[in-house]
Amino acid sequence: MPEAAELYNAMNPWSGRADDRFYLDLVLGAESVLDVGCGTGTLLAKAREAGHTGRLVGFDPDASMLAQAPAGLDLVHGDLSTLHWDNEFDLAVMTGHAFQCLLTDADVLTTLRGVRAALKPGGRFVFETRNPVAREWEQWPLGGFEFPWEGEQVRVFYEVQPIVGDVVDLVENIVAAGWQRADAGRLRFLSAERLASLAAEAGLDVVDQYGTWDRKPFETDSAEIISVLAARPARGR
């Protein structure tokens, strides 16, 4: 049975869809970029392929994901509870709804403060999280998808528990001929208001929020909360 990291790129291929283009355009427009929770490094690899010649750095807490990354990328194992950069980046991004894996206020603040420290004053942190008002998790058990893996079709479907507070428990089932995986996970659905409050506490200001990947303004019932945060200068500087 393959490990989850081995299946990741096949399950989540780069397709040039709207969110891929959104983040790639941001990265190509910045001299120095930090990819927070970079996974298998696909975004940074695509930026290099597209001609980015500046500094591109990624990190992820899952070493097995980094092992699937293309050679030649500047990737680090760890998270912002241990890793530190000081005013080094123009842009930080966190893609693939990875922000929702931060399950507590303490987790969120550790990440936001680490990103703020890593950014130059006025640098931007851009990420997305699903809007809890849209209650997207209720639709996940009704769907699913298939993807090709080593010459066969693999099926993915979800079991989801009712939300408790702002956290949803789910199981991702991955089924093929002769093997299957059942991977439990948890995702937090922060409101736009709570997100803005935590950002301010961490020294970041919300300068833009979009509800769609073509940058339409965020509205109460938007499916996504795509946030652009700006780093305040650290005190004493």
Q: In three state form, how does the secondary structure of 50-114 look?
A: CCCCCEEEEEECCHHHHCCCCCCCEEEECCCCCCCCCCCEEEEEECCCHHHHCCCHHHHHHHHHH
Report the number of distinct structural domains present in the chain: 2
Please tell me whether residues 39 and 150 are part of one structural domain: no
Residue 2 reports pLDDT greater than 70: yes
pLDDT higher at 234 or 70: 70
What letter represents residue 220's amino acid? T
Percentage of the chain lying above the pLDDT 70 cut: 98
Residue indicated by tokens 């975004």: 43
Quote the pLDDT of residue 54.
Answer: 98
Say whether both 160 and 120 belong to one domain.
Answer: no
User: Residue 16: its pLDDT value, please?
Assistant: 86
Q: Report the CATH number that the domain containing residue 70 is assigned in CATH.
A: 3.40.50.150
Residue 237 pLDDT class (50, 70, 90 cuts): very low
Which range of residues forms the domain containing residue 150? 133-188
| pTM of the entire predicted model | 0.96
Judge if 178 and 82 occupy the same domain: no
For residue 15, what pLDDT is reported?
87
pLDDT tens figures, 58-117: 999 999 999 999 999 999 999 999 999 999 999 999 999 999 999 999 999 999 999 999
Residue 197 covered by a domain:
yes
